[in-house]
Amino acid sequence: MNAARRSLRAAGLALLLGCAASHDVMKPAPAPSDDPVADRATVYFLLPSNSLHGTRFQVWDRTEFLGLGLPASYFIARCTPGNHLFVITAENKVAVEADLEAGKRYYVLLGPTRGFVRARADATAVTRGSDAWDKVEAIQKGLTYYEPDEVAVSNWQTSHRADAAEHAAWFATAPDREKYLEHLAASDGR
């Protein structure tokens, strides 16, 4: 019985430390201009839910760590034009395959679903004609902007890159990957 209690305490401590680490990686900041950047695509990762109980959503561009999705917040990634695979992990993994065009803005809505131990990640690519197309900018205005701390992001990336590579490889080869994959076309940019 004591071993079971120690295991539960250790799991609880790990969850608490994970919450604290989130704020070391992401810092609140003044929202940047929504003006497009001529040689980059800007991808907005929005997490409108504030009921995640400490769960953080890791967001990767294959093996490049972009940031953490935190409750009731958003962050942006300035990406080179072309093909990208954004992998979002929590208790599970989902992804967005994107073909990005320079000078355009793209949106990905993140959300929680019930998991076994903690929230599971859900990602919705905001595409032309989708339900969220006309709502996403209003959703963004109600969220707090966070930006990644460069040193903390670098450390996180070093610590978790092997896991990210494994997830990216899974999305490249798994026969059932389409069940967990969304798509953004170049024409979905604004």
Over residues 122-134, the pLDDT tens digits come to 999 999 999 999 9
Reported pTM? 0.85
- Specify the number of domains making up the chain: 1
At residue 113, what is the residue type? T
| Percent of the chain clearing pLDDT 90 (strictly above) | 74
- Condensed to tens digits (0 to 9), the pLDDT of residues 162-182 reads 999 999 999 989 999 999 999
Q: In this structure, what token pair is assigned to residue 153?
A: 């992001």
pLDDT at 51: 66
| CB 126, CB 97: distance < 8 Å | no
pLDDT at position 19 over 80: no
d(CA 18, CA 94): 20
Q: 84, 61 in Cβ contact below 8 A?
A: yes
Which residue range(s) make up the domain with 48? 2-188
With 80 as the cut, is the pLDDT of residue 7 above it? no
Q: Is residue 43 over pLDDT 60?
A: yes
